[in-house]
Amino acid sequence: MRSIQSNLRTARHSLALACAILLLAGCGFASGRGSVDAGSRYLAQGKYRAAYIEAKKVLQRDAKNGDAWLLLGRASLKMGDPKDALGDFDKAKANGVPRERWVVPMGEALVATHQFDQALKTLSPDKGFAPQLAAQVDVLQGDAHFGLKQADQAKQAYEAALKLDPKDPRALVGLAKLAAVGHDMDSAQRYLDKALAAAPENPQAWVAKGDLAFADHDFAGAEAAYQKVLGFEHPDWLPQEHFYTLARLANAQAQQDKLDKALATIQTLEKMSPQQPYPHYLKAVVLYKQGHLGGAVTELQQVLQAAPDDVQAQLLMGVVQYGQGNYGQAEMYLSNVMGMDRGNTNARKLLALTYYREGRSHQALDTLRPAIPGNPSDTELLAILQKAAAARTGQPRSSASTGTATTTLPSGPFAKAGQALVSGNESEAIRLLQQIPKGDASTEARRTTLLVISYVRERRPDKAVEVAAAYVAKNPKDSAAHLLYGTALVTDNKHDEARKQYTEAYKLDPKNIAALMSLGSLDSLEGHYQDATGRYQTVLKQDPHNAVAMTSLARLAMR
């Protein structure tokens, strides 16, 4: 009897031990050899490091396992290493993995590394692809064409994807981005609405929604969109997309002067990728806004060390150096910007102001006359705006005879608004100006002039006209008020009304050379060159050394 009981206990012990071994094996104790199936499950769960480890284990014992190479490449891609992923996909291909399995992840890696031409070669059409796979390939082709700035080809690729899958969110996002680049914001919004209706948690759609709001200066809306997508538990995107969404969030926060929040976001970016220059640029923006110009310079130096040709960093460095009074340094950086981007209006204007501050008025005038194809009137208009602003905003202006700089940038309650305007942030300038309480006549004159200029530079001439009209109604005998109103009307293409205001300004003050110059500029705008010549000659009779009038006459003579 005892022998039977002893045997039963031994059997139960052996059974328990066997079960334990099986359980341990199921828990991974016996998985030291690695498993492609286990790695694929990890990948689907967003456990990319675990998937990577499983693939490595398999490859240690079987270096020709194509499935393991494919898994390794997909895990590397999801961990933010697309360059290594490309090598893994090549080995998967060489070891027998069929094209339909590696073509999409390889295409993603090529687009992520900006190898757009190679991506298009890899993503060549294949009639054997299932519709869903073919749609994915079409979208990646669209992304590659978009990267090459081939808008028509990108549109064709995205539309081809939608024929296969009418609700493909990435194709709709691609079309939205194309519409936004073409300044068709209504179409861009419609495409995004369709994308989000089809896939409410598509991260690319939410990022594009934030970008659209940012472009419309709706920085609060942009911030909300970025924060929403960053709150998704398992978004289907690459780490690079996550990084740049955080960067966009920091920028939106900075634009709203949520500077503490922006700095916290930037710190997260720095931890994610310490070598990336862009967080240093964003930090420089925040420090500049806080008035820490020295700190901004330090951050920008790090950006320019990594990316010497970064136009944004060069421009901000010019702004900061100008703010510190280092006009020689400001000139150097702003000239660099103009060399790389001749159409950069903000750099052109600040460079002209720098020349004014250095007493080089003729060079300033030349800089203020950008050669904009098809719109020769911008030269005269910019001179008008500069003159209209000079007397009241405290911007550097030339004296009637010598053209030397005689004033400084806005001070007191206007300092921050003037700083925002100089740095090209018109929306912030408008917000600050609207917050300034009503004061004496001088304060209202400066505030009104800065508001008009800010609205003009933000391309909202209707608002500029509205503000200037209200000011003229309160100050009907002020020659300068009529001059400013006329300038606002010119920007809104209301030339007849502008002419009345300039004429009234000159009638109220026959010594107001700016009014006479404005009438001459308006004559030039409308092709009345003989009348314009007469007005500029009248100006020179009153002021024989007026550089603006002489330059304008020279331009008329060339015509």
Is the pLDDT reported for residue 435 higher than 90? no
Region 218-235 average pLDDT: 94
Is the pLDDT reported for residue 6 higher than 60? no
- Per the model's pLDDT, the better-predicted residue between 558 and 419 turns out to be 419
Q: Please tell me the least confidently modeled range out of 287-301, 310-324, 518-532.
A: 518-532
**Averaging pLDDT over each range in 262-266, 373-377, 548-552, which range is the top one?**
262-266
Q: Contact 502/519 with Cβ under 8 angstroms?
A: yes
The reported pLDDT for the residue numbered 556 is 63
Region 476-480 average pLDDT: 87
The reported pLDDT for the residue numbered 38 is 94
SS (H, E, C) 278-336: HHHHHHHHHHHHHCCHHHHHHHHHHHHHHCCCCHHHHHHHHHHHHHCCCHHHHHHHHHH
Q: Please tell me the least confidently modeled range out of 94-108, 127-141, 143-157, 385-399.
A: 385-399
Q: Contact 469/481 with Cβ under 8 angstroms?
A: no
Region 344-351 average pLDDT: 80
The reported pLDDT for the residue numbered 557 is 60
Confidence of residue 85 (pLDDT cuts 50, 70, 90): very high
The reported pLDDT for the residue numbered 559 is 52
The reported pLDDT for the residue numbered 338 is 87
- Per the model's pLDDT, the better-predicted residue between 422 and 334 turns out to be 334
Q: Contact 454/426 with Cβ under 8 angstroms?
A: yes
The reported pLDDT for the residue numbered 345 is 77
The reported pLDDT for the residue numbered 18 is 39
The reported pLDDT for the residue numbered 547 is 58
Is the pLDDT reported for residue 404 higher than 50? no
Q: Please tell me the least confidently modeled range out of 43-57, 379-393, 529-543.
A: 379-393
Region 118-146 average pLDDT: 93
The reported pLDDT for the residue numbered 541 is 79
Q: Cα dist. 302→284, 298, 299 in Å?
A: 10, 7, 5
Specify the DSSP element, H or E, that contains 274.
none
Is the pLDDT reported for residue 399 higher than 80? no
DSSP 438: P
Three-state DSSP class for 80? coil
**Averaging pLDDT over each range in 29-33, 44-48, 173-177, 555-559, which range is the top one?**
173-177
Is the pLDDT reported for residue 554 higher than 60? no
Region 519-528 average pLDDT: 78
The reported pLDDT for the residue numbered 34 is 76
Confidence of residue 375 (pLDDT cuts 50, 70, 90): very low
CA gyration radius for the chain? Answer: 32
Is the pLDDT reported for residue 400 higher than 60? no
Average per-residue pLDDT for the chain: 82
Q: Among 68, 48, 67, which Cα is nearest to 57's?
A: 68
The reported pLDDT for the residue numbered 369 is 60
Over pLDDT 70: what percentage of the chain?
81
> What's the burial of 276, exposed, middle or buried (CB within 10 Å: 0-12/13-18/19+)?
middle
The reported pLDDT for the residue numbered 540 is 78
**Averaging pLDDT over each range in 211-220, 500-509, 523-532, which range is the top one?**
211-220
Q: Sign of the CA dihedral 453, 454, 457, 463? A: negative
The reported pLDDT for the residue numbered 26 is 39
The reported pLDDT for the residue numbered 388 is 44
Residue 433 CB neighbours (<10 A)? 24
Region 502-513 average pLDDT: 84
Q: Cα dist. 338→94, 347, 419, 420 in Å?
A: 49, 7, 20, 20
Region 172-185 average pLDDT: 95
Q: Which pair of tokens denotes residue 176?
A: 């939205």
Q: Contact 200/167 with Cβ under 8 angstroms?
A: no
The reported pLDDT for the residue numbered 19 is 38
